[in-house]
Amino acid sequence: MTKAALFDLDGVIADTAAYHLQAWHKLVQDHFGLDAPADLLAQTKGLSRTDSLAAILSGLDLTVTDDEFTQLAAEKNALYQQLLANLNEDSILPGIADLLAALRKKGFRLALASASHNAPLILDKLGLSGTFDAIADPRKVAHGKPAPDIFLAAAKGVGCQPEDCIAFEDSAAGIAAIKAAGSCAVGVGQQAARQADIGFPDTAALDLDQILAQINRKKSAG
């Protein structure tokens, strides 16, 4: 029986994915005078800050020292946090507040499974600090998405087996992580929707009854 819902944050609960992309773009422009291609930046969705920076540098054929790498990661976070100043309760993506309420009403436990070290700050700005029963800490897991660790930690945080969880994601790395954890993957947005067990074009289209009906159909089929 499905008992808990695990949520990605950036790109599912709030449109902070766009802020990450803006911050990376400015960082690369300021330091290297380059225009990072949108498709390269899009590949960082769901990846940790350091994995994202490594992917961007490698994609642009750039090499930096360890100290420069640390400095660049810190600077990107400072740029990102400036953009987060714009966040407020209206920044919750369409359909998410209703979905969270509907899950609660059906007795689901709720956990956050975000790669972001800024998650507590973002939840606070969105007015969602008290909403989740557990927030998995990305600093305490060995491997970032696409490894399953953060989803396993979130399921454990709410005392559920991963097989008894549905998990919501907007990134390819996140969908792979959910599948590796053994939970049911609900994908939001074109790419994630294609790779997930159940997909929706955007958060506004998320429909809990449809998700639960599909899970039940799959269970009775096999």
Please report, as ranges, the residues that interact with ligand B16 according to CB under 6 A: 8-11, 17, 20, 44-49, 52, 77, 114-118, 171
Nearer to Mg ion, 61 or 150 (CB): 150
| Closest to 131 measured CA to CA, from 110, 150, 147 | 110
| Closest to 112 measured CA to CA, from 131, 87, 135 | 135
Residues 163 and 179: their CA atoms lie apart, in Å, by 10
| Residues in touch with Mg ion (CB under 5 A) | 8, 10-11, 170-171
Q: Measured from the CB of residue 63, what is the shortest distance to ligand B16 in angstroms? A: 21
Torsion angle of C-alpha atoms 64, 68, 71, 75, degrees rounded to 10: -40
166 contact choice in ligand B16, Mg ion, none (CB below 5 to 8 Å, kind-dependent)? none
Residues 204 and 188: their CA atoms lie apart, in Å, by 9
Q: Which of 8, 149, 170, 197 is catalytic?
A: 8
**10 in active site:** yes
Q: Measured from the CB of residue 115, what is the shortest distance to ligand B16 in angstroms? A: 3
118 contact choice in ligand B16, Mg ion, none (CB below 5 to 8 Å, kind-dependent)? ligand B16
Residue with nearest beta carbon to Mg ion: 11
Q: Measured from the CB of residue 208, what is the shortest distance to Mg ion in angstroms? A: 19
116 contact choice in Mg ion, ligand B16, none (CB below 5 to 8 Å, kind-dependent)? ligand B16
**170 in active site:** no
Instruction: Give every CB contact of residue 96 below 8 A, 6+ residues apart in sequence.
Output: 12, 13, 203, 206
Task: Tell me the β-bridge partners of 134.
Answer: 111
| Active site amino acids | 8, 10
